[in-house]
Amino acid sequence: MAANNEKSDDEQRIENAIYGTPKIRPDEQRKYLGTFRERVCLTISVKELHEQNWQPALVAELKRGIGNLVFLNGNLPHEEIHPYLLATNQHGGSFTMKTDPEFKTDPDSLAVVVAAKTGVYQSPVDVEKRYPQFKVGQHPAAKQTDDEHHGFFYRLFHQKGEE
């Protein structure tokens, strides 16, 4: 007779009551402030947050209308994340402060995550890559080199001077 390795529903309920419901991909959820990577539209790391003000990028992302859920690392000082909270409120997003100790504040940790309710599979999501035009000290010639990376049809339909 083979041993049954499956837990009964009652055993599973008791275990969940004691230890909590098991998380799917917990490392991924820890990294993205409680959400899954496929839902993420934009991320701002603690290091990026300290280097400059990325509010214009946050506003631009909210205006795109793909994701309007903003997760803020509540373990950071209030004065650092408060401007992002205000921008979220002013531009139709909803925010959640994440204050669990599992959300770290080291430079590589995330301070702000913009996400959708379902999978949107956006890439890139890093603020410096997604919105280089908002980077302080961005050289005006950098826009030209960015345009050179686009193909023929992009350049054909996006002529310079058109706005």
Q: What is the pLDDT of residue 143?
A: 46
In a domain, 7, yes or no: no
- Residue % of the chain over a pLDDT of 70: 78
In a domain, 98, yes or no: yes
Domain hosting residue 75, numbered range: 33-133
What total of structural domains would you count in the chain? 1
Q: What is the pLDDT of residue 140?
A: 46
Handedness of CA 90, 56, 103, 35 (dihedral sign): positive
Q: What is the pLDDT of residues 40-90, one digit of tens each?
A: 999 999 999 999 999 999 999 999 999 999 999 999 999 999 999 999 999
Handedness of CA 133, 137, 139, 142 (dihedral sign): negative
Strand (E) positions, the chain?
A: 40-45, 69-73, 94-98, 110-115
Tell me which of 8 and 107 has the higher pLDDT: 107
Q: What is the pLDDT of residue 141?
A: 43
Confidence of residue 20 (pLDDT cuts 50, 70, 90): low
Q: What CA–CA distance (Å, rounded) separates 45 from 116?
A: 18
* Whether 72 contacts 43, CB under 8 Å: no
> Which whole number is the average pLDDT over 88-109?
96
Tell me which of 5 and 19 has the higher pLDDT: 19
46: which 2 tokens? 């603690």
* pLDDT exceeds 70 at position 159: no
The phi, psi pair for 58, rounded to 5°, reads -60, -45
The phi, psi pair for 94, rounded to 5°, reads -120, 140
Length of the chain (residues): 163
> Which whole number is the average pLDDT over 106-129?
96
Query: Does residue 61 sit in helix, strand or coil?
Result: helix
CATH number for the domain spanning 84: value is 3.30.1330.30
Q: What CA–CA distance (Å, rounded) separates 116 from 16?
A: 28
* pLDDT exceeds 50 at position 145: no
In a domain, 110, yes or no: yes
In a domain, 47, yes or no: yes
In a domain, 40, yes or no: yes
> Which whole number is the average pLDDT over 114-129?
96
* Whether 116 contacts 31, CB under 8 Å: no
Number of H helices, E strands in the chain: 8, 4
